[in-house]
Amino acid sequence: MIVRRLKEILGTKREVKAPNGNWTSRRFLLKDDQVGFSLHDTLIHAGTETYIWYKYHLEAVYCVAGNGEIEDIETGEIHPISDGTLYFLNKHEKHYLRATETMRMICVFNPPLTGEEVHNKEGFYEINSEES
Ligand code: 9YT
């Protein structure tokens, strides 16, 4: 059994901040934990807009606090997000994530992140295809 608490993650390598300051990701489970996915408690900071395209990952996101919206760039659809909203990027959708009020999101990635990934210029996390 693995038991971890947020206070044990804060200030360690498992707390990853976006270089542009838009989000802070507290990574509870990573590839090394060998559970087949990674699980993060992520804050999307108020007033930010982030372009994201998870080219290699599937991501499920469940909002437990705050509010904002996600825009599917291809369709132009905008979905409001608040406590109790789940979205799942099952088609690697390019999107904008906007936070009106800081959003706390529980994020699950498959394949799992390995550690300290941040978005590259194209908005995705690199992957080492030999590893996964
Ligand atoms: C919801 C989302 O994709 N936010 C960006 C950060 C990412 N989820 C992470 O690494 O925790």
Q: Could you give the CA distance from residue 67 to residue 97 in angstroms, rounded to a whole number?
A: 11
pLDDT score for 132: 45
Model confidence over 55-94: pLDDT tens digits? 999 999 999 999 999 999 999 999 999 999 999 999 999 9
Q: pTM above the 0.85 mark?
A: yes
Query: Does residue 79 come out as left (phi exceeding 0), alpha (psi in the -120 to 50 range) or beta?
Result: beta
Whether residue 103 contacts residue 47, with contact meaning beta carbons closer than 8 Å, is answered with no
pLDDT band at 129 (very low <50, low <70, confident <90, very high): low
Domains observed in the chain: 23-110 (2.60.120.10)
Q: Which atom of ligand 1 is nearest to the CA of 54?
A: 3
**Average pLDDT in the 106-114 region?**
96
Q: Could you give the CA distance from residue 22 to residue 102 in angstroms, rounded to a whole number?
A: 10
pLDDT score for 117: 80
Q: What is the 3-state secondary structure (H, E, C) of 75-87?
A: CCCEEEEECCCEE
Q: 72 C-alpha to center of ligand 1: Å?
A: 16
Q: Which atom of ligand 1 is nearest to the CA of 25?
A: 11
Q: Is the CB of 23 under 6 A from ligand 1?
A: yes
Q: Is the CB of 102 under 6 A from ligand 1?
A: no
Q: Is the CB of 105 under 6 A from ligand 1?
A: yes
